[in-house]
Structure 1
Amino acid sequence: MRRPLLPLAGLLLLATACTAAPDPDAKATGDRWRPAPGLAWQWQLSGRLDPSVDVPVYDIDGFDHPASTVADLHRRGRKVVCYLSTGAWEDFRPDAGDFPKVLLGKGNGWEGERWLDIRRTDLLAPLMAKRLDMCRDKGFDAVEPDNMDGYGNRTGFPLTAADQLRYNRLIAGMAHERGLAVGLKNDLDQIPKLLPDFDFAVNEQCAEYDECGRLAPFVAAGKAVFHVEYELTTDQFCPQARKLGLSSLRKRYELDAWRQAC
């Protein structure tokens, strides 16, 4: 997730196997996209989308952009990642009213957002299935499920590491069933157990918090690590990022079009 405890709240920016299976997708059998280490990327979640950045990967908000935007990026030679929040409720999403109140916990530090009770997969799985269907139907190549480390935060629920592993694997499996690659967002402590389930990683501020080495298993497995820093300058983190094989950017917290690449 975007680091939640910073003073930026004003910025706006599943019975697990019991959900109905999606229509078969040829990519689900093994042909889905598998991003390799070192791919350049652009991450833009706010502002008017700038499709002109000459990089092979774009990560954009799944709700905010229609299929035509994804198709345009494909015509430009990009793979496109669908950003979704799967571990927190957002009051500004069109499906916000579909979430029972029993699922909603404490705020996660961002305006209009509250942690979800990921133990209640009986309620969450159908909701997340619809969101992943949206990503698939719009033509996205992958999904970035955010807020997937609630067990390490004050959510209002007694979440355990086992709860998180179970939920993260559920989301990964549901994405794969739809032919989507899936990235592990932050959740560094569980990388050793979740590495087989995820196709790439997305990380914020591993250099600032001296954690980038913990992402090495992804690179060693031939899987991309898409990484951003907000507070550090490129000369402070790019040498290490290049050595580790990370795909690293400097971004502003609002994740608009501005970027500085290593």
Structure 2
Amino acid sequence: MRIWVACASILILSGCTAAPSADSPSVFPAGSVVDYQLGGKYPPPAGVTVVTRDSLDEPEPGLYSICYVNGFQTQPGTEWPIELVVRGDSGAALVDPNWPDENIIDVSTAAKRTDAAARVTAMIDRCASAGFDAVELDNLDSYTRSGGALTLGDAVDFATILVAHAHDLGLAAGQKNTGELGTRGRDDIGFDFAVAEECDQYEECGSFTEVYGDRVIDIEYTDELRRSFAEVCADAATPASTILRDRDLSPPGSSGYVYDRC
């Protein structure tokens, strides 16, 4: 964890925290034991050294903590200006078919990227103020759901802005999915590690490990395993930091909770 040197008073939900050193981003610990807690925070299982939580939760003391930020789609319950979200043929805001309470952020021009970044970086600021070590920027691949309004290049340009902001705050930045980026994620955007969902299921783990080595988190889900989790873990292509979770990422005590690791 970073060392705190001053007390901040903005964008903090509770307590007194401080700004991290901006000399360089924190170093993601390669090959770590991970837990993925987007369904609600809880004490991590024994042996876990890295945990991901939502940006409105707090980091886990003593562990390397990653802050989830919905970087390319709107957070449920938030309202964005209509000019900053992609619109369909009817003129209404386009929604992600899998997440109907999220709109796709319009990053098609430099001006829109600047305005949208001001909103997303506020969440990144909150992550830094709360004491997280890194951010995970989700839905970079939303350009594929934009009906042609956005391109991979637009996503790359917007991601570059967000990653630079995270680095300025001393946070490492994680690429979420989007294996088609190849080395551009690391070399052009500046991502420090990757978070892949179901890379074994889709047989694309190499798209991430060939770029980031052991700095890859893979989450496989119980409802779509193509083989047993033991077979997943035995495969040399599987990232070292691979875990098995229930699709809802439920906390312990919930009926559907599942957690296992390689």
Q: Normalising by structure 2, what TM-score? A: 0.78
Matched, 1:102 2:90: no
Of the candidates 87, 93, 115, which is equivalent to residue 123 of structure 1?
A: 115
Matched, 1:86 2:86: no
Whether the 8 Å CA contact 2:55–2:69 is kept in 1: the answer is yes
Q: Deviations over 1:153-190 (max 9, x none)?
A: 22245211211111111111111011111100011111
Q: 1:149 to 1:129 in 2, by over 3 A?
A: same
Residues matched between the structures, number: 221
Residue 34 of structure 2 corresponds to: 41
**Structure of higher CA gyration radius:** 2
% identical equivalent positions: 29
Instruction: Give the superposition deviation at 1:39.
Output: 0.5
Matched, 1:148 2:136: no
Aligned alpha-carbon RMSD (Å) = 2.0
Could you tell me which amino acid in structure 2 is paired with residue 246 of structure 1?
Answer: A
Could you tell me which amino acid in structure 2 is paired with residue 46 of structure 1?
Answer: G
Residue 261 of structure 1 corresponds to: 261
Instruction: Give the superposition deviation at 1:219.
Output: 3.8
Q: Gaps spanning 5+ residues in structure 2: where?
A: 1-17, 87-93, 252-257
Whether the 8 Å CA contact 2:35–2:44 is kept in 1: the answer is no
Q: Normalising by structure 1, what TM-score? A: 0.78
| RCO comparison, higher one (Cα < 8 Å, 6+) | 1
Of the candidates 136, 154, 157, which is equivalent to residue 128 of structure 2?
A: 136
Of Structure 1 and Structure 2, the greater helix share is in 1
Q: Gaps spanning 5+ residues in structure 1: where?
A: 1-23
Counterpart Cα distance in 2 of 1:52 and 1:229: 18
